[in-house]
Copies of this chain bind each other. A is one copy, B any other.
Amino acid sequence: MTDRSLLILPGDGIGPEVMAEVRKVIDWFGTRGITFDVSEDLVGGCAYDAHGTPLTDATMAKAQEVDAVLLGAVGGPKYDKLDFSVKPERGLLRLRKEMDLYANLRPAQCFDALADFSSLKKDVVAGLDIMIIRELTSGVYFGEPRGIIREGNERVGINTQRYTESEIARVARSAFEMARKRNNKVCSMEKANVMESGILWRDVVQEIHDAEYPDVELSHMYADAGAMQLTRWPKQFDVIVTDNLFGDLLSDLAAMLTGSLGMLPSASLGAPMENGRPKALYEPVHGSAPDIAGQGKANPIACILSFAMALRYSFDLGAEAERLEHAVNAVLADGVRTADLMGPEGGTPVSTAAMGDAIVAKL
């Protein structure tokens, strides 16, 4: 028996393939006495196909009970025409909202062996290591009123950006705590020059800083300037904290800077549960990549590194997380590459499964 429970939701597209490799890693840890109670279920398009909804209540309830959810990816062109309310994404958004996973940790790291893959110059991105903390349960993603209404003889599309003081405060704390474990610098991004919700964001982040984290260096930047500065010289940043929508764009931008989209994990954390562990969902940054699904071409590293984040943040197994991260680095240093990591000079890519095997062998 183990007291570590995991719910695996492989989802759509390449989700099941990359998750199969994570399973190998989990099994390897099991042979070393670090065991997990693993269950598996459906989310996204495959859940819609089976049950007519991208996330059943039963799966939602399970997600609430486990220590950590590990998700592959959701979505695909097959589901593009579905009604908004049952689109694959709604399953993911429901998980985030009902588990109240307010802090989305999106590390953007440039792997030495892969610095050449970036569209940016090598000196701009080599050694890059920033952490974007994106608010994940509020803002325009969930604000009411929302919808498409009729006004006179035309349609009007409406969404509401809404942030409460406490919603801002808690994610600000996550960012300051994170900064203390890193280089002690936080940059908060909003559009306080245009949006009142941005003014409140800036004020609350500053207040939390002054009252609780005066030791951390805090700066503020407009989100458009943030997009520019991330592109110009990303190494100026350590931790960035921003809202749900800006975070969506800026974290994807930061991910692309590294040139290693198939490598980047994420963690979405909520408040501590009774056992002290935070509510948590881990997922790779890449999407479901329907164009290569089922072909054994996908890179499982982002999903495997998401499991490493689970080891660190859910199970307090920092040393084991590092061990796994080192194994990934070692495999890359050996020149093992999936198709997405092939440079113009060519070479023979390995399959998804072979990459997983290589990482387990390094462990």
Contacts and interface: CB of A to CB of B under 8 A. Distances in A.
Interface of A: 75, 84, 87, 89, 93, 119-121, 124, 140-141, 143, 146-148, 151, 154-166, 191, 193-201, 204, 223-225, 227-228, 231-233, 245-246, 248-250, 252-253, 255-257, 261
A147 B196 contact: yes
A-B pairs, 5 with minimum CB distance: A157-B200, A157-B197, A154-B165, A224-B252, A159-B161
A84 B203 CA distance: 13
B248 A159 contact: no
26 contacts: A75-B193, A87-B193, A89-B193, A119-B120, A119-B232, A120-B120, A140-B195, A143-B158, A155-B204, A156-B163, A156-B165, A157-B162, A157-B163, A157-B195, A158-B197, A159-B160, A159-B197, A191-B248, A223-B249, A225-B252, A227-B227, A227-B253, A228-B253, A228-B255, A231-B256, A231-B257
B159 A164 contact: no
A261 B250 CA distance: 20
Given A148-B199, A160-B160, 14 more contacts: A84-B196, A84-B199, A140-B194, A141-B195, A148-B197, A154-B165, A156-B163, A157-B198, A158-B160, A227-B227, A231-B257, A232-B256, A246-B249, A253-B253
State the number of copies, please: 2
Contact of A159 (B157, B166, B195): B195
Contacts of A163: 156-157
A101 to B, nearest CB: 16
B233 A119 contact: yes
B248 A156 contact: no
Given A223-B249, A231-B256, A249-B223, A161 B164 contact: no
Contacts of A158: 143, 160-162, 196-197
Nearest to A161: B159
B231 A248 contact: no
B199 A224 contact: no
B249 A224 contact: yes
